[in-house]
C-alpha cells in the first residue's frame, strides 16, 4: 500500500538534466501561450511545502507548439520523493496547462523519479492514483490534500499573527479579531485563500483564529496551544522547504523555469 508519506525523500539522486527556456513564438509571428502556460503552472503547489512548483524550481521546461501542443517536464529534489506528493503535482500541472486558452493537448512528464512511469502514464490516462498504483494504493489523495491544506492554514495563521503579537496585540485581542480587522498583507491574502479552498470561513467577518478541521472559533483556553501549533507547523514547513531547495540545487545545479532567486524568496 502506498501510504501518505511523512518524509519527502530517502535515496540517491538521479540524472543531471538542465532547465530549459520556453520557446518564443511560432513562425507566423503570433504569440504562443507559453507564458500563459507557465503562469498556470505557477498556480500548482507542492502540497506539503505550500509553494508553487515554479518558485521551488520543479519545472524543467514548458513549451507550446504552433498547433497548441503543450509539453511540460518536471523534476523533484530526489529520486525517491513520495509518489503521492509527486502524483498530485503532475496531475495538477496537467489540469492547469490543459485549461490554458490555445492549448489543444497536454503532456506532463516527471523525470528522474522511481515511479515516473506509473505517475506519467496514470496522469496521461486520467486514471487516478489508485488505478495508477494498482495493488499498492487503496484510496485517492483527496484527504491527503486536505490534510496539507489544514497545515497551510495553521502555518498561515502564525504568519499573520506573529507581526500582530510583535506589535503588542494581546492574545485576547487576537481571539476577538476578525479577518476584516487584520491589516492587509500577502500573508493574509494567502491565509484567506487556503481557508476558502477548504470551505472554511474566509470573509471579512470570519474569526482570525479558527480550528482548521472544523472552522469553529478558537476558545480562550485553547488559544495558547493553537498558537504554538501554528508556529511549529510554520517552522516545520519552512524547514522542509529549505531542505528540498538545497537537495534540488545539489542534484541539478540549475534554476527551474520561474524559480525565485534565493534572496528574493527570503525577502517575501
What sections of 15-62 are H helices per DSSP? 34-41
Position 17 scores a pLDDT of 37
Between CA 191 and CA 164 the distance in angstroms is: 15
Between CA 116 and CA 80 the distance in angstroms is: 10
Read off the pTM. 0.85
Position 34 scores a pLDDT of 87
List Cα–Cα distances, 40 to 181, 210, 251, 257, in angstroms.
32, 31, 26, 12
Position 8 scores a pLDDT of 47
DSSP 61: E
Q: Could you count the other beta carbons within 10 Å of the beta carbon of residue 28?
A: 6
23 Cβ neighbours under 8 A, 6+ residues apart: 32, 34, 63, 64
Q: Facing residues of 45 across strands?
A: 52
Between CA 160 and CA 229 the distance in angstroms is: 14
Q: Which positions of the chain have pLDDT values less than 50?
A: 1-31, 263-264, 267
Grid cell locating 115: 515511479
pLDDT digits (tens, 9 = 90+) for 180-206: 999 999 999 999 999 999 999 999 999
The phi, psi pair for 139, rounded to 5°, reads -155, 160
What sections of the chain are H helices per DSSP? 34-41, 83-98, 116-124, 128-132, 142-166, 171-176, 186-197, 223-252, 262-267
Q: Facing residues of 178 across strands?
A: 207
Position 260 scores a pLDDT of 77
Q: Are 32 and 26 in contact (CB under 8 A)?
A: yes
Find the length of the chain: 268
Amino acid at each position: 500500500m502506498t501510504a501518505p508519506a511523512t518524509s519527502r525523500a530517502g535515496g540517491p539522486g538521479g540524472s543531471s538534466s538542465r532547465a530549459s527556456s520556453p520557446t518564443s513564438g511560432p513562425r507566423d509571428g503570433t504569440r504562443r501561450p507559453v507564458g500563459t502556460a507557465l503562469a498556470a503552472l505557477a498556480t500548482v503547489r507542492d502540497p506539503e511545502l505550500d509553494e508553487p512548483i515554479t518558485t521551488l524550481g520543479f519545472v524543467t521546461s514548458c513549451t507550446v507548439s504552433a498547433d497548441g501542443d503543450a509539453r511540460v517536464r518536471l523534476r523533484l529534489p530526489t529520486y525517491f520523493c513520495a509518489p503521492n506528493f509527486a502524483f498530485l503535482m503532475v496531475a495538477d500541472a496537467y489540469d492547469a496547462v490543459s485549461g490554458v486558452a490555445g492549448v489543444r493537448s497536454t503532456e506532463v512528464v516527471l523525470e528522474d523519479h522511481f515511479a515516473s512511469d506509473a505517475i506519467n502514464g496514470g496522469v496521461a490516462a486520467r486514471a487516478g492514483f489508485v488505478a495508477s498504483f494498482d495493488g499498492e494504493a487503496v484510496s485517492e489523495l483527496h484527504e491527503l490534500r486536505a490534510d496539507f491544506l489544514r497545515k497551510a492554514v495553521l502555518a498561515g495563521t502564525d504568519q499573520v499573527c506573529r507581526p500582530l503579537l510583535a506589535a503588542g496585540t494581546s492574545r485576547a485581542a487576537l481571539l476577538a479579531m476578525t479577518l476584516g480587522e487584520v491589516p492587509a498583507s500577502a500573508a493574509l491574502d494567502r491565509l484567506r485563500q487556503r481557508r476558502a479552498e477548504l470551505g472554511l470561513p474566509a470573509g471579512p467577518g470570519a474569526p482570525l483564529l479558527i480550528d482548521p478541521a472544523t472552522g469553529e472559533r478558537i476558545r480562550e483556553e485553547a488559544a495558547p496551544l493553537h498558537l504554538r501549533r501554528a508556529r511549529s507547523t510554520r517552522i516545520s514547513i519552512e524547514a522542509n522547504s529549505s531542505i528540498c531547495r538545497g537537495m534540488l540545487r545539489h542534484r541539478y545545479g540549475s534554476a527551474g523555469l520561474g524559480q525565485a532567486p534565493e534572496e528574493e524568496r527570503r525577502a517575501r
